[in-house]
Amino acid sequence: PTGGGVAGNIERPEDPENFVLLLAELRTQLDAQGSQDGVHHPLTIALGSGRTAYEPLNWARIHPLLDWINVMTYDMSGNWSQVTGFNSPLYDSVPNPPEVSSTATTLNDLLALGIPANKLVMGVPFYGHGWQGVPVANNGLHQPFTGPAGESGSFDYRDLVANYLSSSEYQAFWDESAQSPYLYSANSGVMIAYDDPRSIVMKANFVREHGLGGMMFWELSQDTDDAALLSTIYAALNAP
């Protein structure tokens, strides 16, 4: 439960029909309570970015029940992947990319399923994923690896700014196809894929061009003290 409504998290729905019935009952109960309260109580879901999360669902029945859908367009590569890749690429990095999807692919799929654009909220990660044991080919991108970098394989953006982006150990790269940055250290064999203000501006432009409902992020404590990523989202979405 959330303040004034209900939010659900959908990774891989195993029972699509009962999922619709659950949402319908929640909507009925929220509307009944809203009539007593004199307010509208929202019903939202957080949706995984892979096709296994959204293709089995009957969106013609689902989207009228929801106020908006937070699309978790991140974790498209990680230490579970076969090769290094982008955490949250805006576009496909290469033909037949190794990433689970891309932000644009997922959102365009959902639009094609008939979901109104203004109900789709793009997710942005305030963290990156890293790998170790990565060879120097292609500056570490789409290469095999021996394990996750660091303690968990994940890096808060604030940590990247403080300890990696300014380090001579790491070289920063920008992938034009994916519209995403990454870091690579040839000495240590570590590659880290993440989002930065530049990639977030590109994503905000996509949101505006497609009339989407907005952007959400995971999560605030991972941003810098001066809110570099959050302030970029706000400025880009509200630019003239």
Q: Which residue has the tokens 């590109």?
A: 202
Catalytic residue among 11, 17, 55, 169, which? 11
Give the integer Cα–Cα distance in Å for 14 and 102.
Answer: 23
193, 85 in Cβ contact below 8 A?
A: yes
DSSP 34: H
Give the integer Cα–Cα distance in Å for 57 and 190.
Answer: 38
209 is catalytic: no
SS3 122: strand
Q: CA of 217: how far to CAs of 139, 140, 176, in Å?
A: 28, 26, 23
Give the integer Cα–Cα distance in Å for 66 and 63.
Answer: 5
69, 121 in Cβ contact below 8 A?
A: yes
Active site residue ranges: 11
